[in-house]
Amino acid sequence: MSGIVALFHLDGRPAEQATLERLVHPISHRAVDGLKIWFQGSSGVAHLHLQSTPTSYNEVQPAGCPRGLVISFDGRLDNREELISKLPGTSARDPQNLSDAACVLAAYREFGESFAQHLKGDFAIALFDCAQQKLLLARDIMGICALYHCQTQKTFLAASEIKSILAYPGFQTRPDDDALADLLLAGDPYERERTCFAGIFRVLPGHTVVVIPDKVRSFQHWDFDTTRQIRCASIEEYAERLRALFEQAVRRRLRSSHPVAVMVSGGLDSSAILCQAELLKRAGASVTPCMGISMTFPQDTDADEKQHLNDIEACYKISIRKLAFSRLRFVDGEKSIWNSELPQLEWDARSELLRIADQIGCRVVLDGYYGDQMLANGGYLVDLARSFRWLQLRHDFAEWGRWMAEVDPAIMKQELRLILSRGLVPYKLVRTVRRHMGITESRHPAWYARPFRERAFRRYVVSHRVPRRFVSYYAKTCYEFLTARLRLNVVETDNKTGAIQALEKAYPFMDTDLIEFLLAIPGHVVNWKGVPKGLFREAMKGVLPESIRLRNWKGDFTTLNNDAAASDYAKFQRCLGPDCSAVTNGYMDSMGVQSEFPNRKFDRNNSLPAVQVTAAVALELWLRVFWGGKEFSSHTASICG
């Protein structure tokens, strides 16, 4: 990923190159193909360049034009031809060599502040209009490229990573207690703008932030239409349209100046990406070479999917680069937290795959993430119940269990019943019951301090979603997946960890055209005949080997994750003592840490204990990494506020 840094002194003070260089330094690893700094008057922009698309070699950013516009563009435009056709003057130029940044500048000249609504792709943008003394920040609807901002006194800052903002001279922040409560203890599920650093905020996906000397405002430039309906005449027509959209999603992400890697597990989603890429190449499409990379595990583990990788190799006569792991380990906690800027630990296997992708000359890595959420969403069962289609509901309820063989049938039934109860019981009633029951500490480990748990519960109680209409309950649950803070955290973390290896992460299943189609068709069609991903399986006939297209289980990493946590448990216990930073700052209770943490047991079929333990350790390491174990004055009291 390229990198963006922007500075705007709102009181008119001149921007200094030395200050911009200081902000650039913490993310200098992004400047693989060069760094350029522009400053004029009270503003400055720096662009750390990673060339990943063919036209990126024709641009020098921050790119400027005679009308006094300066842009730093990170990402990839997917609708270049459509956009160029709308823009006077651009079609007369060589469209094949026109850079994405130049297209965006032309869009701003034509459409003004609403320019971003005309863009499709993965992008983050900082654009300065010198004549109007206006800074604009914009982000794509899926938030694939990270972008943060902060106002400190009379200076507005924006950057691709938070650590760049932290480097501003004299800037001080502290942990954002509300954001930590939301992240660690399921507080407000709808809050996405806050980061874990007080006063530093995300540019929300699909939003534009406009900054002028006396005002900062934000507006949403694009969102999915959740009331749209698409109906086809037959399942074959649905499958054909899905196949075409998936092909387009993969092709868009193969527009690269370097080889593209696919992180392929042997599962349905990632395998489909690699196989579709191979078919595009064989059909003579103008796409870059693609190669599969995979982590493999011993034959006696639930995560062993080597046979399916072998099936892809045999079917397409290709070789997949396989990295064998006997177990999973957590990488250097402090280093990974510095990179991600979140209190979370990372597996060594994923970072090793990225290292290999960089080693073989790739600049883009495709990932099957989010295929499950969009293609196997059980929310449609609620639509069946609401329309009194009891026989189909009964059939599909049973069918799901047969196609999720890796999940205990009792657990699967419990999960499906939970989906039904959430959809059939009025949301306000659920919130009222939870509030009166006072469900607080029981949901979370007792090593967290009571005031911190109560803060999270209060945030849950007062939280509210923005009201909107949905064509179905299935569409509603899909949209909630799309806008979830968890998904945003994942793609932002991938953005930052990929940048360390000079790589861009891209996700075909987060293609906006593909998502629009899936939101608009009935959920029972997406899960055709009660089969999770049933429509996608139909669409992938002739693309996937049949052994993968019809497989009824997924690789299960629960045991491996638990073993990784268990092997580091002694180290984790040493990390969390009665005088650790999380205790002294009021997030954890000293007695709870000493009594509860040492007794945590790891169940072979339950990943929750390992998740809870690693989250607690990550919080402690995060406090040490960014604050050196500092105790904030009166901070313990603020936890209760």
For 49-70, the pLDDT digits (tens) are: 998 888 777 677 786 655 789 9
Q: Is the pLDDT of residue 474 over 80?
A: yes
**How many C-beta atoms surround the C-beta of residue 419 within 10 A?**
18
Q: How confident is the model over 114-156, as pLDDT tens digits?
A: 999 999 999 999 999 999 999 999 999 999 999 999 999 899 9
31: closest CA among 64, 5, 69, 70? 5
Average pLDDT over residues 488-506: 95
Q: Is the pLDDT of residue 35 over 70?
A: yes
Give the dihedral sign, CA 439/443/444/446.
Answer: positive
At residue 92, the pLDDT reads: 45
User: Which stretch of 46-60, 467-481, 540-554 has the lowest confidence by average pLDDT?
Assistant: 46-60
- What CA–CA distance (Å, rounded) separates 339 from 345? 11
Average pLDDT over residues 350-361: 92
Average pLDDT over residues 318-344: 91
- What CA–CA distance (Å, rounded) separates 339 from 13? 32
Q: Which amino acid is at 438?
A: G
Q: What is the pTM of this model?
A: 0.94
At residue 556, the pLDDT reads: 87
- What CA–CA distance (Å, rounded) separates 219 from 503? 30
At residue 413, the pLDDT reads: 79
Is residue 57 a contact partner of residue 257, using CB atoms and an 8 Å limit? yes
Is residue 433 a contact partner of residue 460, using CB atoms and an 8 Å limit? no
Sequence-ordered list of residues with C-beta below 8 angstroms from that of 202, at least 6 positions apart, any chain? 143, 146, 147, 148, 192, 193, 194, 195, 488
427: burial class by Cβ within 10 Å (0-12, 13-18, 19+)?
A: exposed
User: Which stretch of 44-53, 93-102, 174-183 has the lowest confidence by average pLDDT?
Assistant: 93-102
At residue 55, the pLDDT reads: 77
User: Which stretch of 99-103, 148-152, 180-184, 522-526 has the lowest confidence by average pLDDT?
Assistant: 99-103
Average pLDDT over the chain, rounded to an integer: 90
Q: Which amino acid is at 632?
A: F
- What CA–CA distance (Å, rounded) separates 263 from 567? 26
Q: Which two tokens mark 448?
A: 């967290």
At residue 97, the pLDDT reads: 74
Higher pLDDT, residue 331 or 273: 273
Q: pLDDT band at 441, cuts 50/70/90?
A: very low
148: closest CA among 131, 134, 165, 133? 165
The phi, psi pair for 121, rounded to 5°, reads 135, -165
Q: How confident is the model over 206-227, as pLDDT tens digits?
A: 999 999 999 999 999 999 999 9
Q: Which two tokens mark 7?
A: 């500075």
Q: Which residues pair with 63 in a beta bridge?
A: 71
Average pLDDT over residues 369-395: 92
Q: Is the pLDDT of residue 438 over 60?
A: no
At residue 280, the pLDDT reads: 96
Average pLDDT over residues 168-177: 94
445: burial class by Cβ within 10 Å (0-12, 13-18, 19+)?
A: buried
Higher pLDDT, residue 622 or 402: 622
- What CA–CA distance (Å, rounded) separates 119 from 353? 31
Angle 369-374-377 from CA coordinates, rounded to 5°: 120
Q: How confident is the model over 253-295, as pLDDT tens digits?
A: 999 989 999 999 999 999 999 999 999 999 998 889 899 999 9
Q: pLDDT band at 389, cuts 50/70/90?
A: very high
At residue 62, the pLDDT reads: 82
User: Which stretch of 400-409, 481-490, 558-567, 625-634 has the lowest confidence by average pLDDT?
Assistant: 625-634
Q: pLDDT band at 640, cuts 50/70/90?
A: low
Q: Which residue has the tokens 């999973």?
A: 328
At residue 435, the pLDDT reads: 61
Average pLDDT over residues 568-588: 90
